[in-house]
Chain A
Amino acid sequence: MEADRFQELCEEFLLSGLEGEELRAFREELDRRGAEGGRILDRTMEAMGLLALSAPPVDPPPALRERLMAEVGAGTERRGESAEGSGAGSTPTGPSLVEDAPAEPASAGAARRDPSGPGHERPDIGHSRLDRPSPADAPYPWVRSILLAAAIVAAVVLGAWNVNLQSDLSERTAALEEAQQELEAVDTLRQELATLREDLGTIVSPTGSVISLTGTETRPDARARVFVDPQTGRALILAFDLPILTAESLYQLWAIRDGEPFSVGTFTATEEGPARLELDSLDPVAGADLLAVTIEPAPGQPAPTGEMVLISGQ
């Protein structure tokens, strides 16, 4: 999986969750990338932590603090009592705060000891419905045998029927999942087509202009075009014949004004076509004397530090 795609899945996983095939692909790729994949996920998580700070703080009602402190205190108290009251090796009954299991019900005192082992309890269900006469007391032992045989046959038939139903259900579920995946694939294709149309609109815009970037001495074959459409306020950068970088690096586009570089955005090269960067605003490139592309450590740098591979106006 391309670094770009993995980053995209990290963002979607943390922002809205993933499902189905995408979730499986993400988990596999995360496992495959090991610590490096973890670092990318971690970095995205940190960015999300900061995003949360863009929400204005709101003081919660004082009653919330009181309730929480009461619950935390009660939990600790119950835990202490339980630890004091229980012998070595016994399991404390967990307070709701510390353990997810509910506290022992008051009726548990009426529970009956389970002879299968110490400490195990089961509710007292009484004798009336479970008491059976001993075989010696049965008036017609052969009737019981017939009924037992009939019950076994019924159980076998029902079991076989259940297996068939389960198999049928599994097949239908698999077919449904397949259909859902196909629908998602169609949806993705539709979205990609819409993106291509939008790109084409920018490229052929009658009011648009094009800035060409050529490869530097180290990358003489590389080239790029920046399509600027003032009508929609959109710019599209397509770069060709750039080498595919490792996950730790990416390409960064700079606008140079009065000799000072300003970051425009980052992008990566893939095997699937030209490298692509889209801008929703022309501000980052407006008034630039030069445009240049450098190779930088991911996720980009505030000022250029790496090798320059493309430059305009040459």
Chain B
Amino acid sequence: MTQASPEQLAAWIQRMAAQDERAFAEFYDATSASVFGLLVRILKDRTQAEEVAQEVYLQLWRKAGSFDPERGSPWSWVVVMARSRAIDATRSDRSYGSALSDLEARPTAQPLGNPTPRPDRAADLSEQRELVQGAMESLTEPQRETIQAAFFEGWSHREIAKRTGVPLGTVKGRVRGALATLENVLRPQLGEQSMGGD
């Protein structure tokens, strides 16, 4: 279970950028169960999840210097990297990860995130997990199923519409509704900045 606060994760990543192996070990110990859980959920295969986890952590080690706290939280950075590797492992054309490489390729003159420093956040990731699970319960069943198909299966809105026979507009509305509900439910508990908002 992840116990580290976002600030602690960011500090480890900063030390990893300076080739600090101990920081890497601590970062791994704090995040590996969550990352591996995510990969097992997406890939549904522990052996493949292990291979992808190895790639992800080596990529995190290599790219630690490119982490920019102004652009988002360390956890969302890790998730985007892990999820894109896992989704690509399920696709033959590996198009998803290469499309997301735009995120890193963007010049810093055009910031992705709020340029102001983020305030301290009390909730560590294990506390956030409990809040998220509660927030997921507040979604309607169709919203929950749709957002899970999009997030964990990597299905596009069109694919979901085709596979479920639900109109595309409805699928988009469910994804939007689910994300908005998660934000609305979590914002008061996690603080304004934790969602990356203004």
Contact = CB atoms under 8 A, between A and B. Distances in A.
B115 A35 contact: yes
A48 B76 contact: yes
Contacts of B50: 60-61, 64
Interface residues of B, number: 95
A53 B28 CA distance: 16
Interface residues of A, number: 72
Interface string B181-198: 011101110000011111
Interface string A2-19: 000001100111111111
A38 B115 CA distance: 10
A64 B48 CA distance: 12
Contacts, number: 230
A42 B72 contact: yes
A118 interface: no
A188 B25 contact: no
Contacts of A278: 169-170, 173
Interface of B is mostly: helix
B72 to A, nearest CB: 5
Contact of A50 (B100, B168, B182): B182
B21 A73 contact: yes
Q: Which secondary structure dominates chain A's binding surface?
A: helix
B168 A191 contact: yes
Contacts of A8: 172, 176
A39 B192 CA distance: 13
Contacts of B148: 54
Contacts of B155: 16
A14 B71 CA distance: 15
A302 B180 contact: no
Nearest to B106: A38
B114 A60 contact: no
Interface string B100-116: 10110010001111110
A267 B157 CA distance: 19
26 contacts: A12-B156, A16-B157, A17-B95, A43-B195, A43-B196, A45-B196, A48-B83, A49-B80, A50-B128, A50-B132, A50-B186, A51-B182, A52-B151, A54-B129, A54-B133, A54-B136, A54-B148, A55-B34, A55-B41, A57-B2, A60-B50, A64-B50, A68-B58, A191-B168, A281-B142, A299-B183
